[in-house]
Amino acid sequence: MDYEGNVFRPPSEAASILLQVTTGCSHNKCTFCGMYKQQKFRIKTDEEIYADIVFAEKNCRNQRRLFLCDGDTLSIPHKRLVATLEQVRRHLPWITRVGTYANTKSIYHKSPEQLAELRHLGLQIAYMGLESGDDTTLKKIRKGADSQRMIAMGRKIREAGIKLSVTVLLGIAGKERSPIHARETGRVLSAIDPEYVGALSLMLVPNTPLYEQHQKKAFTLPDPMEMLEEIGIMLRHTTLTDGLFHANHASNYLPIKAKLPEDKEATLARIEDALKGKIGLRPEYLRAL
């Protein structure tokens, strides 16, 4: 596979074929993210993409899932994205699921009919970074969308039959705004009602605006116990019809894997036990992005 620059994928796509169809991120302005800072966004040529599909046809026969990289593949013009998925179906017929990152801008520019067509061609899951449901926080981190738009675009992609995994960031609002961020994020998650929620704990990345704010004492990261309190508030305010709420990423202090609504109270009790010191937390040296 001909990868250009850094290639990222969600933890759940660890065993997937990684097909890079774009490089970088079309937004690339979030203050906390350093993933694509040195990388220019571009859509790869059809020839480049086709060559990688042919490579996968010969060398990736044991993998049943495929993930379209990088930061925002839904921004590819619809006809070209359809053609790519058709090539995947033709050359890799054993693939059972295709996934992609998606942001609100790219979802907005796809019609419901276009999203449904992508679903028909195998696009079964999209990963959307909400980070926070608090409009003040979203503006500060330069996310490029407010909570109303997050809700509308999350619902839009779900209505097309594409499963949605929403990422939220514990600690992203800082110490003082932590409870508000937690409550508002629960509100937005409930309104979107995604199939999956993945909660990560913020780890400050050097050479990002948020890291610089922290160095200048303009941003205070919540401590581990405050992070636990935050996820407890968030979960308490989150109502999912039938979803998984995970906080088992390596960045988190307390691994959580809950099916909502049935596991909600037991999970809140587990968080409370951790706050009381009855359950040990992951040490700093074992945490990772």
Distance CA 179, CA 177 (A): 6
Segments in the chain below pLDDT 50? none
pTM comes to 0.94
Residue 289 confidence (pLDDT): 66
Quote the pLDDT of residue 38. 76
CATH of domain 11-286: 3.20.20.70
Q: What is the C-alpha separation between 52 and 19, in angstroms, rounded?
A: 7
Length of the chain: 289
pLDDT at 152: 98
Domain ranges in the chain?
11-286
Beta-strand relationship, 17-20 and 22-23: unpaired
Name which of 281, 197, 289 is nearest 242 in CA terms: 197
* pLDDT score of 114: 98
Non-local (6+) Cβ contacts of 269 within 8 A are none
Residues 6 or more apart from 281 whose CB is under 8 A from it?
224, 228, 253, 254, 274
Using alpha carbons, select from 103, 130, 126, 133 the residue that is nearest to residue 28.
103
